[in-house]
Structure 1
Amino acid sequence: MTDISQIFAGAQITLPSSAALGLDASTWLIDEEVYDNRIDGVNEHMSSPSPGTMPSGWKAKYLCHDLHNPHTEAFMRVFSQCPDEGTERFPPHIRAQQADPSFEHYEAKARKAFQQGRCRSVPPLLGWGQSVQGEYRPVPGGYITHLVWEKVSGEVLSPEFFWSLSQSRRDLIRDKFRIAYQEILSFGWVPGGQHIGKIIWNEESTDLWISGFHISLRTEKQWSNDVLAHFELIKPPPRGPCDPLLRPRGSWDKWKW
């Protein structure tokens, strides 16, 4: 498989089959890069109740399609280990000492759990691969992870669109969202940075999905209306300049639904 330094529009990425995930081998043609950025080695305080070391790496997202079925559009996320800052020009055998071939980001763990459990509330996984970098790559022996999930038919919700809808339509979206969120809670995972942009809504079919798991969090929490507030699906009442900021707890009578 290919690390981020070798991926460009037109590149082909072949991923293996996985019996555990119910995935056939597949080849994906890269259409365009959505973004890429470097992640310096840190402790995963946001991702784990027991912080552990995360090696330095690159994270990138691409729009792609199935080489043998061009109508199947998808997103691909690639995680690839990179040398620690200041060691990029060290000889390969020195950089290889940083290699962590088995490291797996929380997004990969979450999406694999959803796939194995047949979760219907997140876009389905279409491809997965875990490999290591070759002898002359940035970190010889370092991890590479590929995740491909379906580009579902719908639009990312925005506050402007949501609050332009009728009361009955907003109620429908909130009901669908609650069902979807309760399902992902049953797997013990939620997306980090919770906000309305994590929700994909198909206005015609009324299908709803939750996405945006590039930062994934383990959780044992249960459903509450706090979640609606965090995802901007309800609004706090107006307040004066001296009024305290209302937190999403307690009575919801004065909130806008």
Structure 2
Amino acid sequence: MPLTWFSKETIAPGTTIQLNETSWTIVQKINEHKLQIDEAGIIPGWVGYNYPSYSCVLLLVHLKHDRRVTSSAFMRIYLQVPNEGTEVEPSRTRAQQACEFIPPELKALRQFTRAQSAYTPRLLDYRVGKQDESGLVPHGFMVWMVWEKVPGNQLGDAIGNSVFWQLESEERRQIRVAFEAGYKYTIPRVRNFADKIYRDLLRNGFEPSFGSPKNLAWDAERRPLYFVGFHDCDTTEGEEWTPAEFAVYSLAIPPKSSRWYESEWEEDFSTWEY
């Protein structure tokens, strides 16, 4: 697998990309994720997932002709790539793999934005297109999407470091209150600003697949809690609040002997660290 599937010309700083309604200029590349299925249509190590082969790159961008910090946003480009083992096959062979694909991330942010969710990033624009005859997968999908940078700081990073546990205990409590109040979307008596946070996620059908502190952004000044990082996301039909969600997002630490993750576990949170 190559280090990158994107040409320098495609993602070079200064390159302008036209989406459905707006134009964006690339500032820098942040990261790239690759997912290739084998010739049998299986993703090694992934059970129950049905995705085509693709690579996606995350970019920092700003509106064309507007370099203000407030115009900065994130762009992700999804590019269909050849299945593993077919990278050097003739273009007519690779073209047989071409398909349409709407990333779950785009579905999630589009739904949140339509519902006017105040606690997830707004989708600013997107475009769905196809590669030309010279593409890696001729006529294969190519999807661009841009969403806003929300205020605040993420409570963790991709390698497990948690800012959350460096905060004072009172601020950690406030974050848990905001998190819980939003999750309890079925309890109408909750009226403060936080009652929409997790309710928005569940009502609109999506949440990050592998919840962790990096999926939470906390604005310490204005106190909203944002859910971010929907590159991998799941549907949420039928889910209800349980304090065990604190452990899922590393907002509380259960004792090592606790089996809080099992469905038959008798809930006892008295020995958890908060």
Deviation at 1:109, TM superposition (A): 1.3
Deviation at 1:47, TM superposition (A): 10
Which whole-Å CA distance do the structure 2 matches of 1:206 and 1:119 have between them?
16
Structure 1 gaps of 5+ residues are 17-24
Match of 1:22 in 2: none
Size of the alignment, in residue pairs? 239
Report which stretch shifted further, 128-137 or 150-159.
150-159
Equivalences for 1:89-104 in 2 at 5 Å? Answer: 89-100=88-99, 102-104=100-102
Which whole-Å CA distance do the structure 2 matches of 1:108 and 1:161 have between them?
28
Structure-1-length-normalised TM-score: 0.84
Equivalences for 1:3-152 in 2 at 5 Å? Answer: 4-5=6-7, 6-16=10-20, 25-41=21-37, 51=48, 53-71=50-68, 72-100=71-99, 102-152=100-150
Match of 2:202 in 1: 185
Which whole-Å CA distance do the structure 2 matches of 1:44 and 1:73 have between them?
34
8 Å CA contact 1:34, 1:63 repeated in 2: yes
Which whole-Å CA distance do the structure 2 matches of 1:235 and 1:38 have between them?
32
Runs of at least 4 residues of structure 1 off by over 3 A?
42-48, 158-161
Which whole-Å CA distance do the structure 2 matches of 1:14 and 1:26 have between them?
6
Match of 1:247 in 2: 260
Deviation at 1:168, TM superposition (A): 2.6
The amino acid that maps onto 1:96 is A
Structure 2 gaps of 5+ residues are 183-196
Which whole-Å CA distance do the structure 2 matches of 1:217 and 1:147 have between them?
19
Counterparts in 2 of 1:192 and 1:43: CA distance versus 1, 3 Å: farther
Which whole-Å CA distance do the structure 2 matches of 1:134 and 1:160 have between them?
43
* Higher RCO, Cα 8 Å, sep 6+: 1
- Measured against aligned partners, the alpha-carbon deviations of 1:57-79 in whole angstroms (never above 9, x if no partner) come to 11111111111332211111111
Which whole-Å CA distance do the structure 1 matches of 2:93 and 2:260 have between them?
51
Which whole-Å CA distance do the structure 2 matches of 1:14 and 1:98 have between them?
26
Which whole-Å CA distance do the structure 2 matches of 1:36 and 1:246 have between them?
35
Counterparts in 2 of 1:164 and 1:92: CA distance versus 1, 3 Å: closer
8 Å CA contact 1:47, 1:216 repeated in 2: no
What's the secondary structure of 1:61's corresponding residue?
Answer: strand
- Measured against aligned partners, the alpha-carbon deviations of 1:79-98 in whole angstroms (never above 9, x if no partner) come to 11011123222332222111
What's the secondary structure of 1:186's corresponding residue?
Answer: helix
Counterparts in 2 of 1:27 and 1:46: CA distance versus 1, 3 Å: farther
8 Å CA contact 1:47, 1:106 repeated in 2: no
Which whole-Å CA distance do the structure 1 matches of 2:211 and 2:137 have between them?
33
Match of 1:210 in 2: 227
Deviation at 1:164, TM superposition (A): 3.2
Match of 2:190 in 1: none
Which whole-Å CA distance do the structure 2 matches of 1:121 and 1:213 have between them?
13
Which whole-Å CA distance do the structure 2 matches of 1:212 and 1:47 have between them?
20
What's the secondary structure of 2:79's corresponding residue?
Answer: strand
Match of 1:166 in 2: 168
Query: RMSD of aligned C-alpha atoms?
Result: 2.4
- Measured against aligned partners, the alpha-carbon deviations of 1:172-223 in whole angstroms (never above 9, x if no partner) come to 1112223112220111111011111111111122122101111111122112
Structure-2-length-normalised TM-score: 0.79
Structure having the larger proportion of residues in strand? 1
Counterparts in 2 of 1:68 and 1:53: CA distance versus 1, 3 Å: same
1:234 has 2:238 as partner: no
Counterparts in 2 of 1:161 and 1:35: CA distance versus 1, 3 Å: closer
Which whole-Å CA distance do the structure 2 matches of 1:224 and 1:44 have between them?
32
The amino acid that maps onto 1:37 is H
The amino acid that maps onto 1:171 is R
